[in-house]
């Protein structure tokens, strides 16, 4: 199946994790991909795609800086003649400090990258996508943006904003044939969560990672990337303004004492 043959695609945060997995899958399905990231490692993503016979260009950007986002969109149009898909995936965690211990400079930076970044992606990508007849914008939010308990106040607030941005953008792009949706990952093994996974492995506690969701495990980047690809594809042609939780079922319930499969709850 090649859902993205000759389509022009931008993926931010493409140096690792969900972004790298998505860029690789887009290219494997025929897409021509601009791999964008702040990290120099983004070139390795593009090179791996080219080595596999795909088309990819790496560019270093600050996803929360308007000039960089505008330049990346212009690069896609210049190199590939159009833009079909924008996957605004770049983000930072901002640590786990509570409201009272969070420095204003930190929350400002988290909001700049995690919320202003997707806003700029919509602002600059939507016009060229609409110009060539329509396409899709996918934003990476988080289950932390749905309700409390999955991230710091700064991170959670930024991701709640991304969810609303997807809804608001879909409405403001009415008639353009540009769809805007968000994915809401649960705990996923990426560069951002590497310290958690490294600690669990060193401590021999991997069985506890992701234990709060019904699937009792964390996700791999490809599992999130596949949902992003679905939302970007014509398979999701009537999905618009939605935030899709991809979290093993974590957000389907408020925290409770869960009954073990085949056992009586205590």
Q: Which residues are catalytic?
A: 155
Reported as half-sphere exposure (CB side, CA atoms, 13 A), residue 199 has a value of 6
The greatest distance separating any two alpha carbons of the chain, rounded to the nearest whole angstrom, comes to 62
CA distance 266 to 259: 8
Please, what's the b/e burial string for 198-207 (b: 16 or more CB within 10 A of its CB; e: otherwise)? eebeeeeeee
**DSSP secondary structure letter of residue 162:** H
**DSSP secondary structure letter of residue 211:** T
Contact 23, 11 (CB under 8 A): yes
Q: What Rg, from alpha-carbon coordinates, does the chain have?
A: 18
Contact 240, 179 (CB under 8 A): yes
């Amino acid at each position: 199946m090649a859902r993205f043959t000759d389509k022009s695609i931008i993926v931010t945060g493409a140096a690792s994790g969900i972004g790298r997995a998505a860029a690789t899958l887009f290219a494997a399905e025929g897409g021509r991909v601009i791999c964008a990231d702040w990290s120099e490692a983004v070139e390795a993503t593009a090179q791996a795609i080219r080595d596999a016979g795909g088309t990819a260009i790496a560019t270093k950007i600050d996803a929360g800086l308007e000039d960089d986002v505008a330049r990346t969109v212009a690069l896609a149009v210049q190199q590939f003649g159009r833009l079909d898909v924008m996957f605004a995936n770049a983000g930072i965690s901002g640590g786990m400090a509570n409201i009272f211990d969070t420095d204003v400079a930190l929350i400002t930076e988290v909001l700049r990258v995690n919320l202003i970044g997707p806003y700029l992606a919509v602002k600059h990508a939507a016009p060229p996508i609409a110009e060539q007849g329509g396409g899709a914008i996918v934003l990476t939010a988080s289950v932390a943006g749905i309700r409390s308990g999955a991230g710091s106040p700064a991170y959670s607030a930024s991701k709640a904003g991304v969810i609303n941005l997807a809804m608001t953008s879909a409405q403001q792009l009415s008639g353009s044939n540009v769809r805007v949706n968000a994915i809401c990952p649960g705990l996923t093994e990426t560069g951002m969560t590497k310290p958690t996974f490294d600690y669990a492995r060193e401590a021999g506690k991997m069985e506890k990672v992701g234990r709060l969701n019904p699937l009792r495990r964390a996700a791999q980047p490809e599992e999130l990337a596949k949902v992003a690809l679905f939302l970007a594809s014509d398979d999701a042609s009537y999905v618009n303004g939605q935030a899709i939780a991809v979290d093993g079922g974590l957000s389907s319930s408020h925290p409770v004492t869960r009954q073990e499969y085949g056992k009586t709850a205590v």
